[in-house]
Copies of this chain bind each other. A is one copy, B any other.
Amino acid sequence: MESIKIIDIVGTAAFSMAGTFAAMEKKLDIFGIFIIAFVTALGGGTLRDILIGELPVKWMLNPSSGLIVLLSAIAALLFKTVIKNYHNVLLFFDSIGLGFFTVVGIQTGISLGFHPVICIALGTMTACFGGVIRDISLNNIPLIFQKDIYATTCIFGGIVFFILLKMGVTIMPIEIICLVTVVLFRLLAVKYHWQLPAIWKKEKPTL
């Protein structure tokens, strides 16, 4: 239980920091930066809870996640030069967040008796759509619609999850394997610049 809480905090904080940096690039003021940090960290889970009707959304009932977002946004603002030097640390934390939120989303779907495809969609949404709402708010086309290996990582982790479940593995090890799969897959994708083939590219480069 305790370890889950720590992973949750680490993931939320990493997502909040990623949002803070994106908002600073657009030169938002303090209020805007905090809203973008909040949306990046909690937007995916919020969208999931709205779509499944788990309302009021969780962060209203317990302000602790909002506090984590606020504190890590402040930390990102104060120590931005330091933190950016630890780019690899941030990427590692972000990957842990990605894996953890994927598992949380899949579990939510399973507890509601949804089809595995919908469960994987919920996992991907929980992990990735905070970033989508952030990008749309900042007037960008969502990054993950252009560099798909990010969301693909969650989908791949989700498929691993359900293969193991079919094989009769118990839930605890499945969760850990799914999380580790997402983290490894993401780190390898970043390191080796993996990208899905982009269909439209067939046309342009020949010119």
Contact = CB atoms under 8 A, between A and B. Distances in A.
A63 B118 contact: yes
Number of copies: 3
B139 A29 contact: no
A30 interface: yes
A134 B46 CA distance: 20
A29 B146 contact: yes
Interface size class of A (residues with CB under 8 A): 35 or more
A151 interface: yes
A53 B51 contact: no
Contacts of A112: 56
A52 B60 contact: yes
A79 interface: no
Q: Chain A interface secondary structure, helix, strand, loop or mixed?
A: helix
Contacts of A189: none
B146 A30 contact: no
A117 B144 CA distance: 32
A53 B77 CA distance: 34
Contact of A27 (B51, B66, B151, B198): B198
Interface in A102-151: 112, 114-115, 117-118, 121-122, 132, 136-142, 144-148, 151
Nearest to A23: B145
15 contacts: A28-B146, A29-B196, A29-B199, A31-B145, A31-B148, A31-B152, A50-B51, A51-B57, A52-B55, A52-B56, A53-B55, A61-B114, A66-B117, A139-B139, A139-B140
